[in-house]
Amino acid sequence: MHGRRLATTDRLIVLASPDSDAGLSRIREWADDHDIDVEVVDIGDDIGDVSQPDIPTLGITLGGDGTFLEGIKQFTPNGIPQLGVNAGTLSFLARVEQDDIEDALDEVIRGRATVDSRQKLKVESSGLDTTGINEVTVEHVPPENPFDRKVTRLEVFADDEYVGQYEGNGVAVSTPTGSTGLSLSAGGPIHMPGDNHSLQIVPLHTHRIGTRPLVMAANTDIKIITRGQASLLVDGGRAHKILSEESVVRITGADESAHVVRTSYDDQFMTAITEKLGWGLRGADNGPQDLLETDIPPREPTFLEHARDIAIEAAKSVGEPLRELHGRVEDITYKSDKSDIVTEADHQANRIITTVIENEFPDHSIFSEESEFVKGESAYKWVIDPVDGTGNFAHGNPQYSVSIALLEAGQPVLGVVYVPETDEVFHAIEGGDAYKGETQIVTTERELLEESMLLSGYDPDGGFLTHFYNQTQGVRSLGSAALNLCYLANGSADAVWEYDTYPWDVAAGVVIARAAGATVSNRFNEEYTVEFDSDERKSLLGSNGFVHPSLYDHLESSNLV
């Protein structure tokens, strides 16, 4: 989940521990000031009665780590990101202090918080199927007779490869989040938990001096088989089962990750370790930060570079909700009309993008295909098509995109096109180079029409296809004008023809294509211009430049101009 998406939060669900009235009062007052709804759920109660999937929601846990873990259990299955406010004592997970609640929430709704993806565990055994975020332990059950055997033997396999026999108190399998608790006490390494997807097997009081913790990939299929009775606990007892001899416990990374919101008001991870565990490598401060300074200070980004980075963040922040909605259109379990899903996709994407831009550039104008024009005081205007290729989207086709352009005094100076299904982002600044991600892209250098691959947009009577298909290496129609221009820029096609376009369809793509070396004209071979003072659609002819003369000549001789 992208932190920019949090800017559209309309609702808070607070999971509150006892004796947290002061913090709860501050949250309510802040929410009232920002016209955001609040639902409060006591520890032990289910959030299902108040959770509404269609409303952008932030989960807040108000308590210690126990409350935070309860939040993970409830918020994660509902796809709700959570912010942990510390109202307890020894807390590694809930790291926003109550005095900073308002400032942290301000940062969240401005889209400036980050969201950690936290690895979870999936645990299965006879009669047990659950998830956790800290650790699973398989331990010896204390005997009723103190003279009976006090150790357990466990056989451990990883992806069916035999790891070995563990004899002692037992074994823990932990996530990076759980590495600071039982795992650390048993000699396991500490993991930086954010966006760290791994698992580790840690022996508990082993009787073999050479046994060491093992770190492995999150999708490893770990099996623990008991050689006697044992006790299985998940997250310190949130799930518990007594295992009989030769029971099989299967542990792997859960499909769903927990989304943990982090703000600049959180205690840093190493600070929390230092204060709570007496970390011996550093004092209470952040160390000799001056050593990080160099003789060459980092270059400050230009305004357009900053605007490009914000546009990329805004575009990528809508990737997850668009992919979720796109997955529904061909799913027979969803009964709503496809047009309703497409409308919701346009609405969600547009709201997230425009909110991010308004937060960062409050004096800029915003034009979007899906909302009313926002008039700003500056010469800059953002042009947004939240879903270009809605026909493809409605039929489960992955060829759709998010298009964001910035105009200065009416001229496109910045373009970003994002492809949610492939997580590709194309971008360029006028006068600079074009990129796909961090890789520069350029057009092809083919000069002959018969060697060229063409892309076509709307072709009402099939004239372009008829006159160009046999004279070239083929004509393809993708259904997204923005993507057509990006593929031209990327060298995936040699030319593009659009019978008619609206400015929001192509404003970003034109910047990207030209930065990559493309020539873009109208049907009269005049330079293509992006104009908003008319509702009239315009034709577009784009090419690598080398093939443009013969391309236009053939277009003219075919009576298509």
pLDDT score, position 207:
77
Model confidence at 148, pLDDT cuts 50, 70, 90, reads low
pLDDT score, position 332:
46
**Collapsed DSSP state (helix, strand, coil) of residue 138:** strand
Q: What is the mean pLDDT of residues 211-215?
A: 90
- CATH class for the region spanning 121-253: mainly beta
Model confidence at 524, pLDDT cuts 50, 70, 90, reads confident
Name the pTM for this structure: 0.83
Residues marked active site are found at 65
pLDDT score, position 141:
87
DSSP element (H, E) containing 224: strand 222-226
The topology (CATH level 3) of 449-557 is D-Maltodextrin-Binding Protein; domain 2 (3.40.190)
Helices (H), 327-408: 338-360, 390-394
Q: What is the mean pLDDT of residues 161-166?
A: 93
When mean pLDDT is compared across 66-75, 100-109, 505-514, 531-540, the lowest value belongs to 531-540
The residue assigned the tokens 């709700």 is: 80
The residue assigned the tokens 């104008």 is: 365
State the Cα–Cα distance between residues 92 and 366, nearest whole angstrom.
Answer: 42
pLDDT score, position 51:
87
State the Cα–Cα distance between residues 498 and 490, nearest whole angstrom.
Answer: 18
Report in angstroms the alpha-carbon separations of 8 from 37, 111, 355, 442, 528.
13, 8, 7, 36, 36
| Digit-coded pLDDT (tens) for 53-63 | 889 999 999 99
User: Is 538 within 8 Å of 532 (Cβ atoms)?
Assistant: no
pLDDT score, position 335:
43
Dihedral sign for Cα atoms in the order 381, 302, 305, 310: negative
CATH of 3-115+262-283, one of 3.40.50.2300, 3.20.20.140, 3.40.50.10330, 3.30.2180.10: 3.40.50.10330
Report in angstroms the alpha-carbon separations of 284 from 20, 97, 275.
28, 17, 7
Q: What is the mean pLDDT of residues 251-266?
A: 93
Q: What is the mean pLDDT of residues 68-82?
A: 91
Q: What is the mean pLDDT of residues 338-343?
A: 76
Domain limits of the chain? 3-115+262-283, 121-253, 303-441, 449-557
| Digit-coded pLDDT (tens) for 2-35 | 889 999 999 999 999 988 889 999 999 999 999 9
| Digit-coded pLDDT (tens) for 438-465 | 999 999 999 998 889 899 888 888 878 8
| Digit-coded pLDDT (tens) for 290-340 | 777 766 777 889 999 999 999 999 999 999 999 988 887 766 454 456 677
pLDDT score, position 315:
97
SS (H, E, C) 446-495: CCCHHHCCEEECCCCCCHHHHHHCCCCCCEECCCCHHHHHHHHHCCCCCE
- CATH class for the region spanning 303-441: alpha beta
